[in-house]
Structure 1
Amino acid sequence: MVRFDPEAAERTILGDSLDDGALWLLADPDVRGARAFATSWQDRHGALAHDQRLIPWRLFALGGIYEDDNLTVKEAAQCMRIRGSLAQTLHALPDGAYFHMTPTPPPDDPDLLSHHELEVFADYSTMLVQDDQARLGDPGPAWFEALATNWINAAPGIVGVGAARPFDVPVIVDVRRTPPADNTLELQQAQHVTEASLAVPSGRLLISMQDFDDELPRIPLTPGTYVVRVYSHGLDTFSEDGLDGEDRYHVVLWPTDEEHPAQVIKRYPEPLPGG
């Protein structure tokens, strides 16, 4: 007999039989079975259908409480889909860790695992897409020269990405099961596209510039090697002094068994801004 927490994907073994589970529940039915609350809720709102469940607006693992204003009724399978995203995020994180919550992937793209919208400080007009445990150290001038020329370079556990401005820039990160198609509209519209492989043994992805503050959101991934492709947009929107513009960056990752060298897939026809 096992108790399953759908918000954290944690299992607690209660015993070897249904009797063991019943004894555990009956030892404290108000806490372990929410008997008193469920009964009072049903008295106020009526019984649930057999395929319905109560689910909190603010999930209990994130501080939600048992109150009417925090609960809504949804179909049971939908409740599990909502909680599944949270369980995947929390499963490998220690208590008290910061994380970046993701919305449910849109139904028209079943290969999209997670979607993240960030503001990233591009110090010296560069960002690092990296494993949470990787450190760049001092790679030398050649590493940064290649990064400035191509807006892409790689070191163990790290992919360096160029940006147009040394400020906070909008970065969208999508994690996919499969590569994007070669003829996507975004590949046609993006002005500069780069690619490199990245090992993420920790299962946590960090995007910053040599900043490892605990409050920076980590993106959970299945540990392994990924292709990192960066689509850069809005490179022709800058003011004369190069400080104001509508540049944005779309980082797409998908798992791979092969090493992909740092390379330019599509080059901006003008000198890259920010150099």
Structure 2
Amino acid sequence: MAKDALFFAEDIFGNQFCLKDDCIHTFDPETGLFDKLAESINEWSGIILEDYEVLTGYSLAHDWQNIYGPIQSGYRLVPKIPFVLGGEYELENLYLARTGESMRARADLALQIRNIPDGASIKMDIKD
């Protein structure tokens, strides 16, 4: 799903930014989909600065740290109910997880739902 992309940054939720097809894209690990965000790194940095609250998850990360303390390097805020399945961008729906573990779980979800049409019902089976 993520072939031919050079990843260089990610937000607090583990959504990633990458170079792909000579442009800057976002990559959603829950769906495995890319969205073009900018034509250049300069344009990307301007977009990030203009909308950092949404594009980085700053507000939720700040609120989390006020309650639970610093978020260590290598950790991300991960949704209990995945965003792609209707999970809310709220503290109550988030937990702290190692980045690698989170990416593996979300990649597994992306592989399971990639051929399911939008709006279809699915059953989520959570395993240890």
Q: Determine if the TM-score, normalized by the shorter chain, exceeds 0.5.
A: yes
- The correspondence for 2:94, drawn from 50, 71, 81, is 71
5 Å matches for 1:1-275?
1-103=24-126
Structure 1 distance, partners of 2:68, 2:126, is 29
Unaligned stretches of 5+ residues in structure 2: 1-23
Tell me the amino acid that sits aligned with residue 62 of structure 2. T
Secondary structure at 1:14 match in 2: strand
Unaligned stretches of 5+ residues in structure 1: 107-275
Higher helix share: 2
After TM superposition, the score normalised by the length of structure 1 is: 0.35
| Alignment-derived partner of residue 16 in structure 2 | none
Tell me the amino acid that sits aligned with residue 12 of structure 1. D
Q: Tell me the matched-pair count.
A: 105
Offset from partner CA, 1:136-169 (integer Å, 9 cap, x none): xxxxxxxxxxxxxxxxxxxxxxxxxxxxxxxxxx
Instruction: Compute the displacement of 1:102 (Å).
Output: 4.6
C-alpha change, 1:90 and 1:37, in structure 2 (3 Å) is same
C-alpha change, 1:35 and 1:20, in structure 2 (3 Å) is same
Identity %: 32
Cα-Cα RMSD:
1.9
Structure 2 distance, partners of 1:90, 1:24, is 30
Give every structure 1 segment of 4 or more consecutive aligned residues whose post-TM-superposition deviation is greater than 6 Å.
none
Tell me the amino acid that sits aligned with residue 49 of structure 1. Q
Q: Which has the larger radius of gyration?
A: 1
Q: Pick 1 or 2: higher relative contact order, CA cutoff 8 A, min separation 6.
A: 2
Tell me the amino acid that sits aligned with residue 73 of structure 1. L
Higher strand share: 1
Offset from partner CA, 1:74-118 (integer Å, 9 cap, x none): 1100000111121112222221012344556x8xxxxxxxxxxxx
Structure 1 distance, partners of 2:89, 2:126, is 23
Tell me the amino acid that sits aligned with residue 94 of structure 1. P
C-alpha change, 1:66 and 1:15, in structure 2 (3 Å) is closer
- Cα contact 2:75–2:99 (8 A) shared by 1: yes
- Cα contact 2:60–2:91 (8 A) shared by 1: no
